[in-house]
Amino acid sequence: MSTSIRIFFLIQQLNRLVVSRIDETLNAENITARQFLLLDLLSNHEPCSSAELARRAHMTAQAMGESVKALEQRGLLEKMASENDARALRIQRTPLGWETFMRCSEAVNKAEEEFFSCLASSEVARLRGSLALVREIAIDALKSAEN
């Protein structure tokens, strides 16, 4: 394999392949990769505002709003008033949203395992760790630049 290929380019290509794979995997559930990301983010940050979700997903507020609306219309998400501010709306999964997320999560886990089956489990763990580290440092740098 050539070392002259830019890592940015490889990551961009992999991102497109991963999004396509997730979309294909979740087609039967009528859930897109972006919508799955939203449902997955809520696993650790539920309930939260649409703006918080957009920041965590590094998406525009408009794109997140569209995803929230689509899932809300299907009965997978609901908005409720914040305990601290009745004007602020918090988003959480409905029981149907939770069930759908669990099925989707299982399918995505299987697809991820198949996608990376060309690597040994130790290589997958190392890749996950390296990507997480680079992401964390890049996010910190972005936050510092904004301040």
Asked whether the whole model's pTM tops 0.85, one would answer no
Nearest C-alpha neighbor of 110 from the set 9, 28, 41? 28
The neighbour count for residue 67, using CB atoms within 10 Å, is 23
Rounded Cα distance between 12 and 18, Å, is 10
Q: What is the pLDDT of residue 83?
A: 76
Confidence of residue 104 (pLDDT cuts 50, 70, 90): very high
Q: What is the pLDDT of residue 2?
A: 58
Which of the two residues, 122 and 55, has the higher pLDDT score?
122
pLDDT tens, 2-31? 568 899 999 999 999 999 999 999 999 999
Domain regions of the chain by residue span:
7-115
Q: What is the pLDDT of residue 81?
A: 80
The answer to whether 50 touches 61, Cβ cutoff 8 Å, is yes
Rounded Cα distance between 126 and 80, Å, is 40
pLDDT tens, 39-98? 998 988 888 888 888 888 888 889 888 989 999 999 999 988 877 776 778 899 999 999
Map tokens 């039967």 to a residue. 28
Q: What is the pLDDT of residue 1?
A: 52
Q: What is the pLDDT of residue 97?
A: 95
Q: Which CATH architecture has domain 7-115?
A: Orthogonal Bundle (1.10)
Nearest C-alpha neighbor of 78 from the set 57, 96, 92? 92
The answer to whether 48 touches 15, Cβ cutoff 8 Å, is no
Residue 130 has pLDDT above 80, yes or no: yes
CA dihedral 117, 123, 126, 132 (to 10 degrees): -20
